[in-house]
Amino acid sequence: MKRKKIVCLLVISMLCIGGCGDKNQKKEEEADFSAISSVCELATLKCYYHNVAKSETEASGLFKWLGKGYKKIWTEYSGIVELGIDVSKVSVEKPTADGVVKVTIPDAEILSVDLDEDSMGEPLTDTGFMTKITKEEETEALAEAQNHMEETAKGNGNLLNQAKERAKSLIEGYVKNVGEQIGKEYTVEWVEFSEK
């Protein structure tokens, strides 16, 4: 009976030691690039604009010589245009055996245009005889201002390039950091994505 207990203890000890050995073996870790969308959001470039919105209507009709119908409105405003890359179009492939990670990245674009309504003061106006500026016309001038901000930013290729390079820099740092966390060295290979 004593022998059976000793043999049983030896068998259990062997199983435990064998099981512990498997748990202590280092498992090959895989790179996890799931936080790429957060990195892309951090790369957003914000541009601050300050400008004057103008709208003008010429005098018309029978009393044109009196300036009837003439309207002009000026409104000073500030706003923010955010430029960056569309996160949904970014993809990161698994690393190759030699540590190359292919990242597909689109061109930078305008992500949002925000007109700061608090920055606008009372509009300056000039009107002709028996002519008023309506709230709709004031609103139209502000919508035009917002469109002007967006068109100005779209036309600035340097800003769009700067936004893309900033995103590339942050993504590359992120990919290399993920590699370091699991003891690997990664390099990034860029794949350009353009809808044009």
Q: Which two tokens stand for residue 179?
A: 């590699």
Is position 188 within any domain?
yes
What's the pLDDT at 64? 58
| Residue in the block written with tokens 């044009």 | 196
What's the pLDDT at 6? 44
Please give the model's pTM, rounded to 2 decimal places. Answer: 0.67
| Residue in the block written with tokens 């709230």 | 135
The rounded distance, in Å, linking the Cα atoms of 60 and 173 is: 62
What's the pLDDT at 19? 46
Is position 28 within any domain?
no
What's the pLDDT at 103? 94
Is position 16 within any domain?
no
- Max CA-CA distance within the chain? 125
Domain residues for the domain of 87 are: 36-193
Is position 7 within any domain?
no
Is position 17 within any domain?
no
CA dist 179 → 74, 87, 95, 101, 102 (Å): 55, 21, 9, 10, 14
| Residue in the block written with tokens 């512990």 | 20
What's the total number of domains in the chain? 1
Going by C-alpha positions, the residue among 53, 52, 55 that lies closest to residue 133 is 55
What's the pLDDT at 132? 72
- The one-digit pLDDT tens for each residue of the chain (196 residues) are 445 444 444 334 443 444 444 444 344 678 888 888 888 787 788 888 888 777 677 766 655 555 566 777 777 888 889 999 998 899 999 999 999 999 999 999 999 888 777 776 677 666 666 667 677 777 777 778 788 888 888 888 899 999 999 999 999 999 999 999 889 999 999 998 766 5
Is position 122 within any domain?
yes
Is position 18 within any domain?
no
What's the pLDDT at 10? 39
The three-state secondary structure class of 188 is: strand
Is position 21 within any domain?
no
What's the pLDDT at 101? 94
What's the pLDDT at 136? 77
